[in-house]
Amino acid sequence: MAGLYTSLRPQPPSSSSSSQQSFFSKVLLLLTILPLSLAVFAFVLQWRGGGVDDPISRWSPEESNKFPGMDSSPLSTVAHSSSHSSDCSLLAHSNTPSFPYYKDWKFKLHSDLKPKICITTSTSAGLEQILPWMFYHKVIGVTSFLLFVEGKAASPDVSKVLESIPGVKVIYRTRELEEQQAKSRIWNETWLSSFFYKPCNYELFVKQSLNMEMAIVMARDAGMDWIIHLDTDELLHPAGAREYSLRQLLLDVPSNVDMVIFPNYESSVERDDIKDPFTEVSMFKKNYDHLTKDTYFGMYKEATRGNPNYFLTYGNGKAAARIQDHLRPNGAHRWHNYMKTPKEIKLEEAAVLHYTYSKFSDLTSRRDRCGCKPTKEDVKRCFMLEFDRSAFIIASTATEDEMLNWYREHVVWTDKAVNLKLLRKGILTRIYAPMVIVQGLRESGVFSSIVSSAQKSISKDKFLASIESSNSSKAAASETLPSRKIGKNQHSQATRRVLEESASHFEFYEEAIPPRPPPGIDEDVITEA
């Protein structure tokens, strides 16, 4: 110690080495005292219980699997038993705490964000399909939904749930609606006339176009910026944006662009027992527009697998249109404008994922919606695409086992070697984002919470009244309508003759764009890859 104190004594200024030694000694003393002081202070706080509490120590073992925010969430208490409908067997809550921060399934946060996007659809599906489809699109930025419902979707158990969701407008196919659509200017124009008064897919195509025309007005009145027509077996895949967001994707579109084309990818199922395509299908066949010509035609034979076309169904994608004056539908796949030719762009990465024939039951459900005869000639009146025609004939004439064998041969991708080859070539691709989002929504209890909340809000009297009202509306809608009813009857046939005879009074426009197959080639041109 004597040496230490000696080193701290002032030294004569003439000795530079002694001065330097004194400086280092002071620094060493400071570095020694400071940590010791902090350690003593910390020890005193710890000994006295200074109020520093580890939040993890407050969690009980049974709560150790919870995430912050789950306790206060109304979704955390929803169990499997909250589903009161057979529709909701696929909507049940899971114990896995994925997506724990969906405190408000109404998704009303950030409603002022731009652009505002509206999706319109014509559907007869149940809740097990509509809810995952709808909330997936809410997650990626869709603001509003216009649902033109009939069949199962119009039943009280389903429609009341849909009506309870903010941002959703349900439009029923009543007599009043059909009478209003019978007055549409579309009937006096030629662009859709080749689809009038035909059954099945043609009738649906006209119905979708008329619904889209009404949806434009509703979306504009609601202040929407973009409108998209999608079926409930289609999910938008906003790849290529800075984030996985449809809103961001459309925000980056130049202001002079009127329409954005999403090329479609088609689901390629690997099993014949798919129940929930949105969470069980991850493999898709890419569109011609997203492949090189050499790859597409070089692998055409392997990709087609003996089917009529490269895709089972359509290959010309879907479109989003900027809402503006004089906008009109141009069939279910495109939009147009009465006053100009819209400027359009085709997205190079984003796509619409089409889950077509992804369930074996899709064969019979399509058959049950159409009353055509299962002959090669008659199905041409009912279906626009060749695979739909073949599927209808098989579903109408074959046994259950024969149907399943046909389904496995033409739809299911069971050859893993071929799958791997096409994946490496880029014909097939894996896309997991929709699967993760929908599964996360389901596990968080969003779907079952919606159903439970809607059912609790409806009193028994109101529920019975809604059933009576629905039945009366259906009865009224089933009556014979004026000559412009979409279905086939004597009045409609007479009207069609009048329309054909007075074609000189029509406004002529380019014909509506129907669902079209992808490009095909002759067998002798196909080259082996």
Q: How confident is the model at residue 402 (pLDDT cuts 50, 70, 90)?
A: very high
Torsion of CA 128, 131, 136, 141, to 10 degrees: 170
366 and 388 in contact (C-beta within 8 Å)? yes
Max CA distance (Å), the chain: 124
Rounded Cα gap, residues 452 and 309, in angstroms: 44
Please write the tens of the pLDDT for every residue from 348-388.
Answer: 999 999 999 999 999 988 888 888 999 999 999 999 999 99
Region 252-277: mean pLDDT is 97
pLDDT at 193 over 90: yes
- Look at residue 521 in the predicted model and tell me its pLDDT: 74
Torsion of CA 254, 256, 259, 260, to 10 degrees: -20
Residue type, 376: K
Question: Considering the domain boundaries, does residue 54 fall inside one?
Answer: no
- Look at residue 217 in the predicted model and tell me its pLDDT: 97
Domain span including residue 295? 117-448
Rounded Cα gap, residues 294 and 220, in angstroms: 43
The phi and psi torsions of 319 (rounded to 5 degrees) equal -135, 150
Q: Which residue has the tokens 């724990």?
A: 100
Question: Considering the domain boundaries, does residue 103 fall inside one?
Answer: no
- Look at residue 471 in the predicted model and tell me its pLDDT: 58
The percentage of residues in the chain with a pLDDT greater than 90, rounded to a whole number, is 62
Rounded Cα gap, residues 246 and 318, in angstroms: 14
Q: How confident is the model at residue 342 (pLDDT cuts 50, 70, 90)?
A: very high
Question: Considering the domain boundaries, does residue 334 fall inside one?
Answer: yes
pLDDT at 4 over 60: no
Predicted TM-score (pTM) of the model is 0.75
Question: Considering the domain boundaries, does residue 320 fall inside one?
Answer: yes
Residue 333: burial class (beta carbons within 10 Å; 0-12, 13-18, 19+)? buried
- Look at residue 484 in the predicted model and tell me its pLDDT: 47
- Look at residue 310 in the predicted model and tell me its pLDDT: 97
Name every residue whose Cβ is closer than 8 Å to that of residue 305 and which is 6 or more positions away in sequence: 410
- Look at residue 47 in the predicted model and tell me its pLDDT: 63
Rounded Cα gap, residues 196 and 187, in angstroms: 9
3-state secondary structure 276-308: CHHHHCCEEECCHHHCCHHHHHHCHHHHHCCCC
Q: Which residue has the tokens 């520093």?
A: 52
Please write the tens of the pLDDT for every residue from 421-468.
Answer: 999 999 999 999 999 999 999 999 999 999 988 887 765 546 556 556
102 and 234 in contact (C-beta within 8 Å)? no
Please write the tens of the pLDDT for every residue from 12-57.
Answer: 555 556 666 777 777 778 888 888 888 888 777 666 554 444 433 3
pLDDT at 489 over 70: no
- Look at residue 68 in the predicted model and tell me its pLDDT: 35
Rounded Cα gap, residues 16 and 262, in angstroms: 80
- Look at residue 32 in the predicted model and tell me its pLDDT: 81
Question: Considering the domain boundaries, does residue 32 fall inside one?
Answer: no
Q: Which of 213, 182, 189 is nearest to 332 (CA)?
A: 213
Torsion of CA 263, 269, 270, 273, to 10 degrees: 170
Region 165-173: mean pLDDT is 96
Please write the tens of the pLDDT for every residue from 510-528.
Answer: 788 888 888 887 644 444 4
- Look at residue 97 in the predicted model and tell me its pLDDT: 41
Rounded Cα gap, residues 404 and 361, in angstroms: 10
Region 305-321: mean pLDDT is 96
Question: Considering the domain boundaries, does residue 505 fall inside one?
Answer: no
Domain count, the chain: 1
3-state secondary structure 427-454: CEEECCHHHHHHHHHHHCCHHHHHHHHH
Higher pLDDT, 67 or 206: 206
Quote the tokens at residue 135. Answer: 């909330």
Lowest mean pLDDT among 179-188, 254-263, 475-484: 475-484
Please write the tens of the pLDDT for every residue from 75-102.
Answer: 333 333 333 444 555 665 544 444 443 4
Question: Considering the domain boundaries, does residue 102 fall inside one?
Answer: no
The phi and psi torsions of 169 (rounded to 5 degrees) equal -115, 125
Rounded Cα gap, residues 104 and 415, in angstroms: 44
Name every residue whose Cβ is closer than 8 Å to that of residue 241 and which is 6 or more positions away in sequence: 248, 249, 252, 350
pLDDT at 176 over 50: yes
- Look at residue 88 in the predicted model and tell me its pLDDT: 52
What are the C-alpha distances in Å from 390 to residues 148, 271, 384?
A: 29, 21, 11
- Look at residue 120 in the predicted model and tell me its pLDDT: 98
Question: Considering the domain boundaries, does residue 257 fall inside one?
Answer: yes
Q: How confident is the model at residue 508 (pLDDT cuts 50, 70, 90)?
A: low
